Amino acid sequence: MGKRVLLIEDEPNIIEAISFILSRDGWDVATHSNGHDAIDAVHARAPDVVILDVMLPGKSGYDILSELRADTHTQNLPVLILTARGQSKDREMAERVGASRFMTKPFANADVLNAVKELVAP
Amino acid sequence: MGNLNALVAVSLIYVAFLFGVAFAAERAAMRGKGNWLRLPIVYTLSLSIYCTAWTFYGAVGNAARSGLEYITIYLGPSLVLIGWWWGLRKLVRIGRSQRITSIADMISSRYGKSNLLAVGVTILAVIGTTPYIALQLQSVTTSLSAFSNAPSDSQQLSATAFWVAGGLAIFTIIFGTRNLDANERHYGVVMAIAVEAVVKLFALLAVGVFVVWGIADGPADILQRIEASEKTTWEINGGRWAGLIFLSAAAFVCLPRMFQVLVVENDSEDHLRTASWAFPAYLMIMSLFVIPIAVVGLDIMPEGSNPDLFVLTLPLASGQEGLAMLSFLGGFSSATSMVIVAAIALSTMVSNHVVMPIWLSSSGGGATVSGDVRNVVIISRRLSIAAVLGLGYLYYRLSGGGSALASIGLISFTGVAQFLPVLIGGVFWRGATRNGALAGLTVGFVLWAYCLLLPSFGPDVLLSQSVIDHGLFGWSWLQPQALFGIEGLDPLMHAVLWSTSLNAVIFVVVSLADFPTPMERLQGAQFVNIFEHSSRTPSWTGGVAKSEDLMIMAQRILGAHEAQSLFEHEAYRQGVSGLLPEPNAEFLQVLERELSGSVGAATAHAMIAQIVGNASVSVQDLMAVANETAQMMEYSSQLEAKSNELARTARQLRQANEKLTLVSAQKDDFLSQVSHELRTPMTSIRAFSEILRDNSRLSNAEKRKYSGIIQDEAIRLTRLLDDLLDLSVLENGQVALSHQVAQLGTVLDQATTAALSGAEGALNVVRTGQDNVSLRTDVGRLSQVFINLIRNAQKYCDAENPELRIEVSLKEDRLRVDFIDNGTGIPSVSQEAIFDKFSRVNPQRAGGAGLGLAICREVMNQLGGEISYLPGQGGAAFRVTLFAPLSLAAQ
Amino acid sequence: MSERSTAVFLERQTYRRRRLIDWLRILPLIGLGLWCIPLLWSKGEGQGVSTADAVIFVFVVWLVLVVLSAFSAWALQALESDDKDATNTGAR
């Protein structure tokens, strides 16, 4: 049983692609596709790492991340922000709310995989 | 006594004639037809009041006693008029522009509107003039008694004098106070004295001609008689010769009655031009026959007969009663014209400077008097006239009509000559001050009284013989006729010399040491620089002129329109027709309040006071102030307008900036959106193409699936790019529309087919309404909108059995096509935003980039129609409206 | 008259007017001077000026002054009233 990854993303094709990539590497991939109850999903699944989109229906990825960081249980949880918005202000925003890594779409599959591995490795 | 009765009858007829002339002149002036009243020659003739009965009768007597000396009395005034450019012109200009009413007003006005000075000048003028009036009354009575040739008792003479004085009072009251004009001009009086001037000149000429050619044998004979007379050679005292020329010149300007006709009654400065030669000519002719009459009189009249009456007694002695009667009328004219004008001048001074101030202060505060002061003024004038003539009569009675009166002419001249230094100094020297004037006048008059007036009554009448011989308090240097021990001078010249010179010296010295008040300085500048301050012909038409001046001033301060409407309103309120209200207290208060809004209360008060009150500052000056104020206000309003404009520009700039900032933010937003929308499909494409490349062991099904995803996303990307380009073209208005005529039904059919082809969900499309309408429009674009709407319904309608109703309705010139589905519709918060770019109500189910409705809106704008969300229809509902369809094809 | 140019014309007119006013100012002084001449006449038996001559002198001066004054006043009016007239009178 590999480490658990929670992918919060609303675009079905991207979910499919990332799930494929990580599953092939032995990760236990769970997905969640909206912002409303993303926090609940994190608590429920207790993942080792979270891949978080920003433009989510219901609640933005940044808001979700700040809430996670405010909670003692999840304040050190590795979170990879993966967004289609690649402007520098988005990167700054991500760092400010406490993202562990920031990556923009489109991405190289290997980069995502390596990033997730690095985040989980101590 | 038949003679006398005839004379009285003729005199009465003559008096009635004078009344008629004066009355006609007044009427003509009132009707505005009095142009003939303003002829220069009338002005010139009116100056002849200088020649009183004293000169008419007395000149001959004087010539009989002292030879040519009499002529100096005429030489002085001649020089004054020939030299009109020096002084008279300035006096007249000042008098007109400052609205001077008398010599007292002139002097007080110049010295800071000092009433003390005015009262002083008035009193002194009365003292100097009353004996002179008595002299005229005496001349009438003596000539009358000479005519009757019967030694009348003094009782009878007094009665005559009384009736003459009473008649003159009535005449003066009627024509002197007929109207109360600010300009103090009396056309009736002036015309009457002009007529009298002609009568006395004609009378004297007639007597002279009779004497020269009737009694003597022509000029040569006269010259011979002169040579044969006692005074064969030039034996005139040089001091008296020069002194009398000076004295008569001074008196000509300073006598209240002369000032009245010269300055106050002056109608136009141009009249001076004519008078400058015509009046010297008049005087020359008047004096031409004086010597012949005197010489012949001395020759043929019995020893001891009064030479003062030769003008009358010579014709009588020769049996020429008609001529004598004419001569009497000449003397009568001389006396009456002088008395009338003197009474008017004095009554003006007494009323303005003595009675009115007392009345105003006794009636409880001058400023608050709101009633008709004009009546009070007129009554006070009339009483003053009666008082002046009464004083003259009283003086005549008290003096006993004796010889004491004979010398009063020159004494009176010397008295009024005391005004000269103050007058000339005030007009030519800005440094002259009120205190200087008061001091100079006081010294002059004290000396005049002490040296000339008091001794003239004879020893021990008013001044004891011991004072005359040894001086006041026994100090010999204070002898009235030998001041400072300078003896041997002619008493008259002694008095003239000391009084006028010390008057002038004290006046100058005190002025130099004094510091004038602001009012004095202002008035001084006004008077001395009159030609720089005044226009040539200031308007002089009384109350209306004042209103007009106020109007001009108000216009300059309030603006033409406001001022005019204010005046019009006030005039209407007063019930006055026309635009100019009466300048009464109420109106002035209103005006002052209005003006103070513009120039401040103090200035407004001063301005109005200056125009309406005693105009001590010229209207022109106020105009200058008003102009300056107007200019300043204009300038500041220009500045205000400019700053308003700047503020407006700044506001516009700020708005533009906000707009630009907004546009910029929108552009950033848009780019960010576009970036996001492009990256999302690209992410899938890249990820799956890498998966396909890197994982050779994928099943075929997987390979097909991933390839399918790549293809879908590529198509999505293409459509997004197409939409963006389309929107860009539409927004920039660069779209080329190709209009065709088409049936709405057909367009809808094709659009439905196109939209549903290849779609998996089963959307039921229902059509209602009359769709057989023919349109002229860009069919391709219109169906693009329809397709978009149908696809939206297909994509987003969340009903179990999705159904889309397309309703066509025609209202007036509008064609409406509604697309209503049976889903949950769009929440009202989003209804506003759905036509914005990249707006998606439900992104999860989005197939597009959220540009569809934005494109639809742009298309409809281009087609001249509109698209809007139709709330309250159950499901999502859109209405497409097209204006002016061509026709209903079915009809 | 040669001056047809307006500038010269006006210049000349103003100049004439100024000189005429000078003359108006001088005139009374001349009159005063002439009328004061009798002061210089010697007094005494036999050698003095006769009264008849004095009378004639005073009246002749008077007449001359009146005529000059009248002429000056007329000239001034002409100068001020009309430009064209002013040319003629001004050329006095």
Three-state secondary structure of A73-92: CCCCCCEEEEECCCCHHHHH
Q: What is the CATH number of the domain that holds B697?
A: 1.10.287.130
What's the CATH number where A15 sits?
Answer: 3.40.50.2300
Domain presence at residue C1: no
Average pLDDT over all residues of chain B:
78
Mutation for A interface: B683, B698, B838, most A CBs within 10 A: B683
Do C62 and B232 lie within an 8 Å CB cutoff? no
Contacts 24+ apart (CB under 8 A), A24-29: A24/B695, A25/A113, A26/A2, A27/A2, A27/A3, A27/A116, A28/A1, A28/A2, A28/A3, A28/A4, A29/A5
Confidence at residue B370, expressed as pLDDT on a 0 to 100 scale: 39
Looking at per-residue confidence, does B38 or A108 come out higher?
A108
Q: What is the mean pLDDT of residues A86-112?
A: 87
- Give the least confident one: B389-393, B439-443, B671-675: B671-675
A122 part of a folded domain: no
Question: Across the interface, do B685 and A108 touch by the CB < 8 Å criterion?
Answer: no
CA distance B536 to chain C (A): 13
Q: Is residue C68 domain-resident?
A: yes
pLDDT bucket at B789, cuts 50 / 70 / 90: confident
**pLDDT exceeds 60 at position B500:** yes
Q: Flag whether C31 is in a domain.
A: yes
Residue B481, pLDDT score: 66
Task: Give the distance from residue A112's alpha carbon to the nearest chain B alpha carbon, in angstroms.
Answer: 10
Q: Is the pLDDT of residue B510 over 80?
A: yes
8 Å CB contact of A21 and B672: no
Residue B351 has a pLDDT of 79
Query: Do B579 and B709 lie in a common domain?
Result: no
Distance CA B357, CA B117 (A): 13
Q: Are residues B816 and B675 both part of a single domain?
A: no
B264 DSSP assignment: I
Report the pLDDT value the prediction gives residue B846, as an integer from 0 to 100: 47
The larger pLDDT score, comparing residue B22 to residue C7, is at B22
Backbone phi, then psi, for B288, in 5-degree steps? -60, -45
| Residue C77 domain flag | yes
B663 and B792 assigned to the same domain: no
> Are chains C and B in touch, 3+ Cβ pairs below 8 Å?
yes
The pLDDT of B368-373, averaged and rounded, is 44
Give the SS3 label for residue B36: helix
**Each residue's pLDDT tens digit, B621-648:** 555 555 556 666 667 777 777 888 888 8
Backbone torsions φ then ψ of B186, nearest 5 degrees: -125, 95
| Residue among B683, B694, B712 whose CB faces A107 most closely | B683
Q: Does C37 touch chain B (CB under 8 A)?
A: no
Whether residue B678 is found in the same domain as residue B554: no
Residue B157 has pLDDT above 80, yes or no: no
Q: Does an interface of 3+ CB pairs under 8 Å exist between C and A?
A: no
The C-alpha atoms of residue B645 and residue B347 are separated, in whole angstroms, by 63
Mark yes or no for CB contact B675/A109 under 8 Å: no
Chains B and A physically touch (3 or more Cβ atom pairs below 8 Å): yes
Residue B614's pLDDT is 44
Encode pLDDT of A17-56 as tens digits.
999 999 888 889 999 988 888 888 888 888 999 999 888 8
Q: Do B691 and A17 touch (CB under 8 A)?
A: yes
Query: Measured between CB atoms, which of B227, B274, B276 is closest to C50?
Result: B227
> To the nearest whole percent, how much of chain B has pLDDT over 70?
79
> Looking at the domain assignment, is residue B666 inside a domain?
yes
* Counted domains in chain A: 1
Give the span between the Cα atoms of B17 and B49, in whole angstroms: 18
In chain C, the number of structural domains is 1
Determine the pLDDT at residue A51.
92
Of residues B343 and B100, the one with the higher pLDDT is: B343
- In this structure, what token pair is assigned to residue C12? 């000349």
pLDDT at B472: 65
Check whether B176 has a pLDDT greater than 80: no
Report how many domains make up chain B. Answer: 4
Q: What share of chain B is helix, strand, coil (3-state, %, to 5)?
A: 70, 5, 20
Q: Cα-flanking dihedrals φ and ψ of residue B624, to 5°?
A: -60, -45
Residue B473 lies in a domain: no
Say which range, B14-23, B270-279, B459-468, B753-762, has the weakest mean pLDDT: B459-468
Closest by CA position to B824, among listed B843, B802, B807: B802
C92 part of contact set with chain B, CB < 8 Å = no
The distance of B856 to chain A (nearest Cα, Å) reads 25
Distance from CA of B248 to the nearest CA of C (A): 13
Q: State the residue range of the domain holding B156.
A: 2-356+381-417
Under an 8 A CB cutoff, do C50 and B234 touch? yes
Across the range B111-125, mean pLDDT stands at: 83
Higher pLDDT, B7 or B602: B7
For B820-847, what is the mean pLDDT? 70
Who among A18, A34, A86 is closest to B675 (CB)? A86
Residue C80 sits at the chain B interface (C-beta within 8 Å) = no
Q: What pLDDT is attached to residue B27?
A: 81
Q: What is the mean pLDDT of residues B658-678?
A: 78
Nearest to C73 among B75, B234, B274 (CB): B274
Query: Please, is B798 exposed, middle or buried when counting C-beta atoms within 10 Å of its C-beta (0-12, 13-18, 19+)?
Result: middle
Structure tokens at B571: 């005039």
**Beta carbons of A106 and B687 less than 8 Å apart:** yes
The interface predicted TM-score of the complex, written ipTM, equals 0.92
- Asked whether residue A91 is assigned to any structural domain, the reply reads yes
pLDDT at B584: 67
For residues B671 and A90, the answer to whether their CB atoms sit within 8 Å is no
C75 at B interface, C-beta within 8 A: no
If you average pLDDT over residues B484-499, what whole number do you get? 78
Burial class (CB in 10 A: 0-12, 13-18, 19+), C59: middle
pLDDT band at B179 (very low <50, low <70, confident <90, very high): low
pLDDT band of B612, cuts 50, 70, 90:
low
Question: What are the residues of chain A with a beta carbon less than 8 Å away from any beta carbon of chain B?
Answer: 10-11, 13-14, 16-18, 20-21, 24, 33-34, 55, 57, 84-87, 104-109
pLDDT at B71: 86
Q: Which residues in chain B have their CB less than 8 angstroms from residue A105's CB?
A: 679-680, 682-683
Other beta carbons within 10 angstroms of residue B281's beta carbon come to: 20
Cα gap C29→C38, rounded to integer Å: 15
B128 has pLDDT over 60: yes
How confident is chain C (92 residues) per 10-residue block, as mean pLDDT?
46 76 87 83 61 82 90 82 44 34
Count the neighbouring beta carbons within 10 Å of the beta carbon of residue B475: 9
- Interatomic CA distance for residues B315 and B301, integer angstroms: 11
Between B187 and B540, name the one with better pLDDT: B187
Across the range B10-25, mean pLDDT stands at 85
The pLDDT confidence band at residue B147, using thresholds 50, 70 and 90, is confident
DSSP three-state, residue B552: helix
Q: Decide if pLDDT at B812 tops 50.
A: yes
Q: Tens of pLDDT along A71-82?
A: 888 888 899 998
Domain of C53? Answer: 6-38+48-90
Does residue B460 surpass a pLDDT of 90? no
* pLDDT band per the 50, 70, 90 thresholds, residue B537: very low
Share of chain A above pLDDT 90, in %: 14
Say which of B231, B236, B280 has its CB closest to residue C38.
B236
Task: Report the predicted TM-score, pTM, of the whole model to 2 decimal places.
Answer: 0.58
- Which of B701, B728, B755 represents a domain boundary (last residue)? B728
Residue C82 in any domain: the answer is: yes
The more confident residue out of B202 and B566 is B202
Can you read off the two tokens belonging to residue B386?
Answer: 């009666």
Q: What pLDDT, in 10s, does the model give residues B688-742?
A: 998 888 888 888 888 898 888 898 888 888 888 888 888 888 877 777 788 888 8
**C64–B contact, CB cutoff 8 A:** no
Q: Could you tell me the CATH number of the domain that includes residue B148?
A: 1.20.1730.10
B761, B846: one domain = yes
* pLDDT surpassing 90 at residue B505: yes
Q: Determine which of B202-211, B339-348, B597-606, B788-797 has the lowest per-residue pLDDT on average.
A: B597-606
pLDDT of B268 over the 90 cut: no
**Bigger pLDDT: B101 vs B89:** B89
Handedness of CA C70, C72, C77, C78 (dihedral sign): positive
Q: What is the pLDDT of residues B299-334, one digit of tens each?
A: 887 777 778 888 888 888 888 888 888 888 888 888
Q: Is the dihedral of CA B11, B17, B21, B23 positive or negative?
A: positive
Over range A59-63, report the average pLDDT. 87
Q: What is the pLDDT of residue A50?
A: 92
Give SS3 for B210.
Answer: helix
B441 assigned to some structural domain: no
What confidence score (pLDDT) does residue B509 get? 92
Residue-level pLDDT at C67: 92
